[in-house]
A = this chain, B = another copy of it.
Amino acid sequence: MPASSVVSVIPLEGLPELEESDDLAVLLHAAAGRAGGLEHADVVVVAQKAVSKVEGRIVRLADVEPSDRARELAGEGGDPRHLEVIVRESKEIVRSRPPLVIAETRHGFVCASAGVDASNAPGEDVLVLLPLDPDASARGLRERLARLSGVDVGVIVSDSFGRAWRQGTTDVALGVAGIAPLRDLRGTTDSRGRELRTTQIAVADEIAGAAELVLGKARHVPAAIVRGIDVRGGGSAAELVMPRERDLFR
């Protein structure tokens, strides 16, 4: 078995509880050093919440005045202030069953609560929002990691999303840098020369999901290295969003 064909998922452990303005690239570089160091073409997957915390994407519920719309979406069981923050982060409410909301975020992602989350938030009654521009967050980390480590790595900012029709969440890519998020099989043929029906594979989402296997949300492991799959290229996580006109489920 050639070692090069094996994909490894290596947790980046021992990071502190993150706060606004922490230098995440330095912390990730140090954690990677403890794990043997970064290698050329590695993909570093970083949990969205870590990125959002250092970028200050935090809202205190005490500072939020809920609108009538938020009270309506909260129903009996929800906190109207939490729903107000979700509404502000949403371009469109796609479905609602109070207090559950599926929304399209400012970035075009369709997900629960527009990505607004209270778990692992840095304090009581505090919500963590998605980064304003996760591709830019990924690019920033990639450039700093390249300077710190001297190697060219890809970066994915990931989050746990639910899915239509299936139970449970899987981690997907919200932001990418230095990688092609889709593997395009259009024009390639199968082993019998027949054109492949499945035209594009969302490799960035599969890499994010593979990283989640070692992230363990309840411990201090906000990132992982995925090594052994060369997905270098240019691209944006926007490529992973189904264009509205092609989407049968909007």
**A residues whose Cβ falls under 8 Å from a Cβ of B:** 1, 5-11, 13, 17, 34-36, 95, 97, 100, 102, 109-110, 117-123, 160, 163-172, 181-183, 185, 188-192, 194-198, 200-203, 205-207, 209-210, 212-214, 217-220, 228-229, 239-242, 247-250
Given contacts A191-B17, A213-B203, A218-B191, contact A240 B182 (CB under 8 A): no
Q: Is the CB of B118 within 8 A of A169?
A: no
Q: Is the CB of A34 within 8 A of B206?
A: no
Q: Which residue of B lies closest to A49 (CB)?
A: B190
Q: Is the CB of B17 within 8 A of A214?
A: no
Chain B: minimal CB distance from A52 (Å): 15
Choice from B164, B188, B201, B217 contacting A247 with Cβ under 8 Å: B164
Question: Which of chain B's residues have a CB closer than 8 A to the CB of A169?
Answer: 198, 200-202
Q: Is the CB of B213 within 8 A of A110?
A: no
Choice from B109, B205, B217 contacting A170 with Cβ under 8 Å: B205
Q: Which residue of B lies closest to A202 (CB)?
A: B168
Question: Which of chain B's residues have a CB closer than 8 A to the CB of A121?
Answer: 192, 194
Q: Is the CB of B167 within 8 A of A191?
A: no
Question: Which of chain B's residues have a CB closer than 8 A to the CB of A206?
Answer: 170-171, 209-210, 212-213
Question: Which of chain B's residues have a CB closer than 8 A to the CB of A164?
Answer: 110, 163-165, 242, 247-249
Q: A160-B201, A170-B201, A171-B206 are in contact. List 18 more A-B contacts (CB 8 A).
A: A1-B34, A5-B10, A6-B8, A8-B8, A95-B249, A119-B194, A119-B196, A166-B240, A168-B182, A169-B200, A169-B201, A185-B218, A191-B218, A201-B212, A203-B213, A206-B210, A206-B212, A249-B249
Q: Is the CB of B213 within 8 A of A248?
A: no
Given contacts A189-B218, A191-B219, contact A210 B7 (CB under 8 A): yes
Chain B: minimal CB distance from A94 (Å): 8
Question: Which of chain B's residues have a CB closer than 8 A to the CB of A212?
Answer: 201, 206
Q: Which residue of B lies closest to A31 (CB)?
A: B1
Q: Is the CB of B250 within 8 A of A165?
A: yes
Question: Which of chain B's residues have a CB closer than 8 A to the CB of A35?
Answer: 1
- Can you identify 23 A-B contacts, CB atoms within 8 angstroms? A1-B11, A5-B13, A6-B10, A100-B248, A119-B190, A119-B194, A119-B196, A119-B197, A120-B191, A122-B192, A164-B165, A165-B241, A165-B249, A166-B205, A166-B240, A167-B240, A168-B240, A169-B198, A169-B201, A170-B206, A205-B209, A206-B209, A206-B210
